[in-house]
Amino acid sequence: MRKYFLTNYFLVLFLSADSNYANQHSSIQYKMLILSSEKAVCLTQNYKTMKHLFLAVLVFGLFSCNTQNTNTQALQNQIDSLKVQLSKVYKPGFGFLMNNIQAHHAKLWFAGINENWKLAQFEVKELKEVTDEIQKYQKERKETELMSMLEPGLLEIERAVSTGDLDAFKKSYTQLTIACNECHKLTDFEYNIVKVPETSGFSNQEFKIE
């Protein structure tokens, strides 16, 4: 394009210097040549403008990508740091959670045989919450994988409690207790035997209702 512009430019200068050329040729052809040269100048200027614009867009795009990559990496570093801090936060041990299950297991029995159904319902809810906490905080343990063994017994107890059926409660409670011992056997804790409680270990709580 630059070569085209220079050729026409020098041609116009040459023709303009020759005083006879305008007389020998029509003024229309001469004007067309002038317009062609002006068009070449205009195209050249547009080309330069578009070239500069393209370079500006390219530089801006590269800068934006680098900025985004930097921000993404900084955010990932913060996430990784938070993960490390969370891993060091205290979480309840498995033994602690199992002791809670044992306590609520005993309370559930005394609430049920005394037909204190509201309290029994509360104890079923507490047992479910503890099993959920075990799955949340101790999910890497083998025992946690077997917690689902308790679900059928808990479901039957919940039904008995909701209907106030004492016989169904005793039966489902025994089923739950057997499931606890089966889980202990499968996890090499067969020496930890759970049974239906005979006396309350909570002398500071009244299970009978008037």
Question: CATH says 94-186 is which class?
Answer: mainly alpha
- Judge whether residue 76 has pLDDT over 70: yes
pLDDT at residue 60, as a whole number:
58
* Cβ neighbours of residue 192 closer than 8 Å, sequence gap 6 or more: 184
The answer, yes or no, to whether residue 138 has pLDDT greater than 80, is: yes
Mean of the per-residue pLDDT values of the chain: 78
Cα separation of 86 and 122, whole Å?
Answer: 31
What is the per-residue pLDDT for 113?
97
Is the predicted pLDDT of residue 169 greater than 80, yes or no? Answer: yes
Maximum CA extent, the chain:
132
Q: What is the pTM (predicted TM-score) of this model?
A: 0.60
CB under 8 A, 24+ apart: contacts of 123-129: 124/154, 124/157, 124/158, 124/161, 126/100, 127/101, 127/154, 128/154
Is the predicted pLDDT of residue 126 greater than 60, yes or no?
yes
Range with lowest mean pLDDT among 39-43, 59-63, 94-98, 192-196? 39-43
Residue 16 above 70 pLDDT? no
Find the length of the chain. 210
**Bigger pLDDT: 209 vs 169:** 169
Predicted pLDDT at 41: 43
What are the tens digits of pLDDT across the range 82-101? 877 776 677 889 999 999 99
Residue 28 has pLDDT above 60, yes or no: no
